[in-house]
Amino acid sequence: MNRMALAFCVAAALSFGAHTSLAAQSSKVDHAGQPEWTFSQGDPEHGERTCTAAVSSATYGVSLYGTVAGSLALTVEKYAEDSAEKTFQVDDGFPYTLAALDDEVEVKGVYVQFPTDLIYDIMDGKQLVISAFDRGELSVSLKGSQSALRSFVACYMGLEKWEDLAQRRISVTRDVSARLTGTCNKLIVAGRNRTGDCAANRGAALEQNKETGFSVVVVYDNPKTMLSFEGHAAQIRPDGETQYQPVSLVRKTGAHGMREMAITVGACAIPMNTYRAGIATIRCSAIDGEGQEYEFEYEKNVMPAEIEVE
């Protein structure tokens, strides 16, 4: 299901039952009157299982909506619904500024391009602050979010329970920096083919850091620029051959320190033999909020990586 099809599904769901919201359908309140996040799933007519994590109160409704192994959408109701952009920040974490869909769907406040790191931030946080220009801030309690979001992620990935996924998630417990030598086979930057500009640069780097997360770094020419695919969510190893790292940010750094950043949705696939002697192919793919694509394919040669561990 593509993102526009999902958006129409969200619109239909939000309109279901006399326009009762997804959040209102699945929310509950604890004994202190505090709204809690809840999880629900359903089987729509077209056969794809849907997954929803939501919270609502009299003044707001926030929902995460997805289809199994398909697309994701985030909806915000009752707060600045006509605002084109909103910023989402969990506790003191990274502030994500997201652009809502245009008038392609009737329901406002639908976001179909957002970093998966935001899901994990909500899962582990205490408070989500949503802000829109000149509209003040909306504080959303994350009470119950861990349980609801764990169920949501497992559902979205087609698993029966969170523990099935947790066994595949690998947390970074030490800082690792690896320098590689090989060949840049493909590089797309904001939809532009820059493969010819990276072919002469034989090096690439992988970094894992407990504080700053994970990054895959390459340098290309015209002008000299360092491009990094970055993410903070834990790695996922579905098998013994490859680890997948969610990519929530693509950063460009120029020769004079000029930086550009794009909030993205994507992942890097890293073969488990990347650090050892032997050929290995790294692939990264991401898309930003404007629909621009970023891709990197790098073939490491037979030489082992130069590794520094702290």
**pLDDT above 50: residue 82:** yes
| 57-66, 120-129, 153-162, 280-289: least confidently modelled range | 153-162
Domain boundary among 136, 167, 198: 167
Return the CATH number at 194.
Answer: 2.40.128
pLDDT band at residue 44 using 50, 70 and 90 as cut-offs = low
Angstrom distance (rounded) from CA 277 to CA 241: 15
For residues 146 and 193, the model is more confident at 193
Segment 230-248 shows an average pLDDT of 74
Q: Looking at the structure, tell me whether residues 95 and 229 fall in a common domain.
A: no
Could you report the per-residue pLDDT of 58-71, keeping only the tens digit for each? 888 898 887 765 56
Return the CATH number at 138.
Answer: 2.60.40
Report the domain count for the chain.
2
Q: Looking at the structure, tell me whether residues 140 and 262 fall in a common domain.
A: no
Containing structural domain, residue 76: 3-167
| Short-list 232, 263, 252, CA closest to 98 | 263
The total of other beta-carbon atoms located within 10 Å of residue 171's CB is 7
Domain boundary among 124, 142, 167: 167
Q: Looking at the structure, tell me whether residues 122 and 190 fall in a common domain.
A: no
Q: Looking at the structure, tell me whether residues 204 and 140 fall in a common domain.
A: no
Angstrom distance (rounded) from CA 57 to CA 173: 38
DSSP letters for 139-162:
EEE-TTHHHHHHHHHHHHTT-SSH
Could you report the per-residue pLDDT of 164-213, keeping only the tens digit for each? 655 555 555 557 788 888 999 999 999 999 999 988 778 898 887 766 67
pTM of the complete model: 0.54
Q: Looking at the structure, tell me whether residues 175 and 149 fall in a common domain.
A: no
| Close Cβ partners of 257 (under 8 Å, ≥ 6 residues apart) | none
CA pseudo-torsion sign 80, 82, 83, 89: positive
Domain boundary among 126, 141, 167: 167
Q: Looking at the structure, tell me whether residues 145 and 193 fall in a common domain.
A: no
Q: Looking at the structure, tell me whether residues 197 and 136 fall in a common domain.
A: no
